[in-house]
Amino acid sequence: MPFQRTPYFKDKLFFESDFCSCVSTFKEFWGKGMGLFRKLFYKKPPDGLLEICERVHVFDCCFTIDAWEEENYKVHVNGIVNNLHGHFPDASFLVFNFREGESKSYMAELLSEYDMTIMDYPCQYEGCPLIAMEVLHHFLRSCESWLSLDQNNLLLMHCERGGWPVLAFMLAALLIYRKQYSGEQKTLDMIYKQAPSERLQLLSSLNPVPSQLRYLQYVSRRNVAAAWPPLDRALTLDCVILRQIPNVDGEGGCRPVFRIYGQDPFLVADKVPKLLYSTPKRSKYVRYYKQKECALVKIDINCHVQGDIVVECINLSEKEREKMIFRVVFNSAFIRSNILMLNRDEIDVLWDAKDQFPKEFRAEVRCCV
Q: What are the catalytic residues?
A: 159
Cβ atoms within 10 Å of 311's Cβ, excluding its own? 26
One-letter identity of residue 295: A
Amino acid (one-letter) located at 254 = C
Interatomic CA distance for residues 195 and 187, integer angstroms = 14
Tell me the torsion sign for CA atoms 360, 331, 159, 139: positive
Q: What are phi and psi of 262, to 5 degrees?
A: 165, -175
The per-residue DSSP string of 195-220 comes to S-HHHHHHH-SB--HHHHHHHHHHHH
Ordered strands of the 56-59 beta sheet: 49-53, 56-59, 153-159, 92-99, 117-122
CA angle 99/46/170 to nearest 5° reads 30
Nearest to 77, CA basis, from 90, 89, 93, 91: 93
SS3 266: coil
Spatial neighbors of 227 by CB under 8 A, at least 6 apart, are none
Q: Which residue type does 168 have?
A: A
Number of CB atoms found within 10 A of residue 159's CB: 24
